[in-house]
Amino acid sequence: MHTPCVPAHAVGDHGGVSADPTPTPQGPPPPGKPSRGSLRARDMLMCLAVLLVIVAVGGGVRSCSFAPGGPTIDSSTAPTVDAPAQLADFARASEFPLRVPAVPQGWRSNSTDRSPVEGGGTAVRVGYLTPEGKYLRFVQSDGAEEALVATEAGGPLAGTGVTDAAGLPWVTYQKAGGEPFRVATAPDDPHVRWLITGSGTDADFVALARATVAGQILPAGAEQN
């Protein structure tokens, strides 16, 4: 007696014959599972990326924060310099007298510098931090006013007005959205210009202007005994 052939796909998992000889449609094979090694590498890279973001954000928060009146600096992370001692040292080589501002209590200096002014002259700079974390830079120079402003601002600026502070008229130079650069002539020497700029408030500017006028006068090097 002849036995009919059974198609191979009709045979069950246990060697039996399927009751339904109709072929079952087959879908696409499931995606392969990533190897354990690739999962570990990917997880390590993701963790490292998250860690770098946290460190970057944390570092920025410690050093600087946003405020409506301008950026503030965490004074605990900024250096401190002896401004009176540095100014006395600069005065020995200066061709014009310098002032040591009698800044309010709680203010401190974090930088000093001396360099040429574009077009001639020298600029002596002192950076100050207020207790609120505002920064102001005080510059003394024998350079021309416009040249001094261009040197400090990184380019020429137009005057926008005059402000009276500490008994002196201060010409304000400023571009839209930028910090003001205020310049006055020293009352004891018509060849010396003072410039104040930075993120400080108007009250901070007035305080530094008064501190400068009331500060100690250091004679120029040629005048020292």
- Name every residue whose Cβ is closer than 8 Å to that of residue 41 and which is 6 or more positions away in sequence: none
Low-confidence residues of the chain, pLDDT below 70? 1-78, 222, 224-225
Q: What is the pLDDT of residues 192-220, one digit of tens each?
A: 999 999 999 999 999 999 999 999 999 99
Minimal CA–CA distance to 88: which of 79, 100, 80, 96?
Answer: 100
| 173 falls within a domain | yes
Q: What is the pLDDT of residues 151-173, one digit of tens each?
A: 999 999 999 999 999 999 999 99
| 116 falls within a domain | yes
- Name every residue whose Cβ is closer than 8 Å to that of residue 197 and which is 6 or more positions away in sequence: 136, 137, 139, 152, 153, 179, 180, 181, 182
Q: Which residue bears the tokens 């002596």?
A: 124
| 11 falls within a domain | no
| 110 falls within a domain | yes
| 28 falls within a domain | no
| 30 falls within a domain | no
Q: How far apart are CA 27 and CA 112, in angstroms?
A: 75
- Name every residue whose Cβ is closer than 8 Å to that of residue 14 and which is 6 or more positions away in sequence: none
| pLDDT score for 72 | 54
Q: How far apart are CA 127 and CA 102, in angstroms?
A: 14
- Indicate which CATH number applies to the domain containing 109: 3.40.1000
| 149 falls within a domain | yes
Q: How far is CA 147 from CA 52, 134, 143, 173, in A?
A: 43, 26, 7, 12
Q: Give the total number of structural domains in the chain.
A: 1
Query: Domain range holding 207?
Result: 75-220
| 89 falls within a domain | yes
